[in-house]
Amino acid sequence: EALYRAKIHPRRKAPTLTEAELVALHGAMVQVARDALAAGGRASERNLFDQPGGFVPVMSREMEGAACPVCGAAIASLNLGRAHKYYFCPGCQALQGARLP
């Protein structure tokens, strides 16, 4: 979710991020944490009182193939590592033009 909000493609390697991208990513991470806390946690999880949270991330399994609320592109997924599936917007999180090693 933080990568989406910072408009950074999941395949980007940390050393290739610019200072501006790092600042954007940090801000997005803080905001996602604040939003999730304010909503009582993720909607897919329950608290100690068995109550569901209310935070629904835009980038999730349920949203795969749906239109991005920002640009309208279909939300896609990719596998990074063995069991890690990441969801991203190819429109908002474009990889072309990135400084890749």
pLDDT digits (tens, 9 = 90+) for 20-44: 999 999 999 999 999 999 998 888 8
pTM of the predicted structure, to 2 decimals: 0.83
Per-state percent for the chain, helix, strand, coil, to nearest 5: 30, 15, 55
Q: Has residue 96 got a pLDDT over 70?
A: no
The string of pLDDT tens digits covering residues 56-84 is 889 988 899 999 999 999 999 998 877 78
Per-residue pLDDT for 19 more than 90?
yes
State how far the alpha carbon of 88 is from the alpha carbons of 8, 29, 56, 73, 96, in Å.
9, 16, 15, 10, 14
Beta strands (DSSP E) in the chain are 76-79, 85-88
φ and ψ at 12, to 5 degrees?
A: -65, 135
